[in-house]
Amino acid sequence: RAYNFNAGPSALPFSVLERAQQELLDFQHTGMSVMELSHRSKEYDAVHNNAKQLLKELMNIPDTYDILFLQGGASLQFSMVPMNLLANDQIGNYVLTGAWSEKALKEAKKVGKTHVAASSKEANYTYIPSVHDIQLSEHAAYLHITSNNTIFGTQWHEFPNLPVDLIADMSSDILSREINVEQFALIYAGAQKNLGPSGVTVVIIRNDLLERIPENLPTMLDYRTHSTSNSLYNTPPTFAIYMLSLVLEWVKEQGGVKAIEKRNIEKASVIYDAIDESDGFYSPHAEKGSRSFMNVTFTLPSDEITKKFLAEAKERGFVGLAGHRSVGGCRASIYNAVPYEACEALAQFMKEFRKQFA
Ligand code: PLP
């Protein structure tokens, strides 16, 4: 198999794919694929509730929160968050740390009043602003952050602890490290990086937030619709939720989030070490204290050398290393399912490649 460093959709654990393959034609002796089960059947109900229960267990989600399985990607949450939680006289506060935060803010502006509470835009998003530099507006409805910036390769390592409901887009680092869910009022994440294939979006919402949702929202865009129906108001993305349940079982087998976090740190360290030991040949985009353990971004001395690097990497079976156009260079996305061996092989290749130019 390829060494898959794609930013999303991204690698899935091989054992999960194998199990899905084994069960594909006949799911638990039903004589049907899981894709063919009615979403009102007891067999599907078990899959659905198992996914929910496993996520609750792995992330230590208290009973005071609900877990929703929605569609529309994390991008729809950019709109749903303000539609549900930004009342007329209040202000949605946003910390800008990259392209996804900007998109979240853009959608909120269409719904209500907003305020940029901190930003690292002036430095092309090379760092995460200090929690001490966050300036909330008056009447703040919530503070929205992007916990990991997929494109720029930066990540929050200390979350703001302010007297305001904290909302996080965790699309690219959910389940990659231990977090205290109670620090957040709402967490959302598209599944296609650490949770499974694309098609399902997870929302973890503190129950009291459901009480402040305005009336008259379109039914499908109202969190209450999905909360009261156990995310079965309409046909859910059943296959994606099934795959999510398999990925969560895999995380549990690995020793849970704590063990995954330890391995993620080792994976990221081996690549960052190759960068730091390169005498500036590989130049990291992110400042040291803001480095992401999920997306490692770096540039090479010239566009020509970058092209050569990517071409040789491809020959060696490394896929998905081209950086996003707004950063240039390279990006290695090393989500939970990317094995340590892939990161070690990449680091080794980086060292060998550099020798050509010594
Ligand atoms: N937020 C972050 C941090 C992302 O990385 C992405 C996608 O890469 C998105 C939001 C958008 O997610 P979706 O494609 O599920 O709408």
- On whether both 298 and 220 belong to a single domain, the answer is no
CA distance 256 to 266: 16
CA of 74 to the centre of ligand 1 (A): 5
The CATH number of the domain holding residue 221 is 3.40.640.10
Contacts of 210 (CB under 8 A, 6+ apart): 66, 223, 224, 227
Instruction: State the ipTM, two decimals.
Output: 0.99
Distance in angstroms (rounded) separating the CA atoms of residues 55 and 323 = 31
Shared-domain flag, residues 181 and 294: no
Do 237 and 320 belong to one domain? no
Ligand 1 neighbourhood includes 8 CB (under 6 angstroms):
yes
Residue 4 is assigned to a structural domain of this protein: no
Q: Are residues 158 and 275 in the same domain?
A: no
**23 neighbors 36 (Cβ within 8 angstroms):** no
- Centre of ligand 1 to C-alpha 42, Å, is 32
Count how many domains the chain has: 2
Residue 311 in domain: yes
Residues 6+ apart with CB under 8 A from 45: none
* Cβ atoms of 213 and 85 closer than 8 Å: yes
Residue 209 and residue 84 share a domain = yes
φ/ψ of 112, rounded to 5, equals -165, -160
Would residue 36 count as lying in a domain?
Answer: yes
Q: For residue 11, what pLDDT band results from cuts at 50, 70 and 90?
A: very high
For Cα atoms 195, 197, 202, give the angle at the middle one, nearest 5 degrees.
50
CATH of the domain at 322: 3.90.1150.10
Whether the upstream peptide bond of residue 9 has omega within 30° of 0, thus cis, is yes
Residue 88 is predicted with a pLDDT of 85
Residues 260 and 225 in one domain: no
Report CA dihedral (300, 304, 308, 311) to the nearest 10 degrees.
Answer: 100
The answer to the question of residue 94 being in a domain is: yes
CB atoms within 10 A of CB 30: 14
Euclidean distance between CA atoms 290 and 259, whole angstroms: 22
Is the same domain home to 248 and 302?
no
193 catalytic, yes or no?
yes
Domain residue limits at 292: 255-355
Indicate the residue among 232, 253, 274 that finishes a domain. Answer: 253
Supply 95's token pair: 């910390």
Any domain includes 6 = no
Asked whether residue 40 is marked as a ligand-binding residue, the answer is: yes
pLDDT in tens, 112-136: 999 999 999 999 999 999 999 999 9
* 3-state class (DSSP) for residue 146: strand
Answer yes or no: is 304 within a domain: yes
Helix residue spans in 112-152 (DSSP H): none
Which of the listed residues 253, 276, 299 is the one where a domain comes to its end? 253
Instruction: Given the residues 193, 222, 250, 267, select the one marked as catalytic.
Output: 193
212 and 281 part of one domain = no
Distance CA 5, CA 27 (A): 31
Structure tokens at 301: 């001395």
Amino acid found at 13: P
pLDDT in tens, 203-228: 999 999 999 999 999 999 999 999 99
Asked if residue 358 has pLDDT above 90, the reply is no
**269 shares a domain with 290:** yes
Q: Are residues 260 and 202 in the same domain?
A: no
Q: Could you tell me which residues are beta bridge partners of residue 169?
A: 146, 188
- Report how far ligand 1's centroid is from the alpha carbon of 22 (Å): 30
Q: At what angle do helices 340-355 and 256-276 cross, to 10 degrees?
A: 0
pLDDT score recorded for residue 45: 98
Question: Active site includes 42?
Answer: no
Q: Per-residue pLDDT for 110 more than 90?
A: yes
Whether residue 8 is contained in a domain is answered as: no
Q: Give 30-66 pLDDT, tens digit per residue.
A: 999 999 999 999 999 999 999 999 999 999 999 999 9
| Same domain for 274 and 152 | no
Averaged over 85-114, what is the pLDDT? 97
Do 305 and 348 lie in a common domain? yes
Q: What angle do CA 339, 342, 346 make, to 5 degrees?
A: 150
- Examine residue 5 and state whether it is found in any structural domain, yes or no: no
Choose the final residue of a domain: 233, 253, 273.
253
